[in-house]
Amino acid sequence: MEQVDWGRIPGPRWYFPGAAQAAMEALARSVSAPQAARALADLRYTVTNDHAGTLYPAAVPATSVFLKAIDERPGPPRQEALNTLLDWWGWFPEPGFEIYKDPLTGPVGLVEGIMSRVQDATDTLRRVADDPSGGGGHRPGAKMLLARLSEGWSEAGG
């Protein structure tokens, strides 16, 4: 997974890169599924304005974190990651922060950057959608995310 310098990613005055880094450190240190799910929730709330339904540029690299959790962390962390990406679908970039400056590929629109990362994880999402482990409670979310990817991104209210 890419190393993210959260402090180099611009955002509105209520984006706190240190909180994103702290969430990542908590995720790395987590020894239980509830701890990992909490760290993922903390990351989610650091890279978005949940009340307004807007995404900050840091949501693009955070998408990779959520996709990795979907792939590698069954149970509550997987569900938290799926719920996050499903909730984000249709949100819009925070005004004035519509571009993510990817250190490898250059500037990309936020929506394009998120969709590209989800598209790249299609095989993982299909595998998770077919995985009956843990009672299969994650399967509907994975299937819905795949369906939304096929439908495209339609901003909420648009």
The average confidence (pLDDT) of the chain is 93
Directed axis angle between helix 110-120 and helix 139-151, to 10°?
130
What CA–CA distance (Å, rounded) separates 38 from 22? 12
CA atoms within 13 A on the CB side of 44: 22
**121-153 pLDDT, tens per residue?**
999 999 999 999 888 889 999 999 999 999 988
Describe the chain by its helix, strand, coil percentages, rounded to 5.
60, 10, 30
pLDDT tens readout for residues 34-92: 999 999 999 999 999 999 999 999 999 999 999 999 999 999 999 999 999 999 998 99
Q: Where are the domains of the chain?
A: 6-151
| Residues in a beta bridge with 102 | 106
For 102, which DSSP code? E
2 pLDDT band, cuts 50/70/90, is low
Displacement of CA 80 from its chain's centroid (Å): 10
Kindly report the pTM of this predicted structure.
Answer: 0.94
Asked whether the CA dihedral 21, 24, 28, 32 is positive or negative, the reply is: positive
CATH (one of 1.25.40, 1.10.3470, 1.10.3210, 1.10.4040) for 6-151:
1.25.40
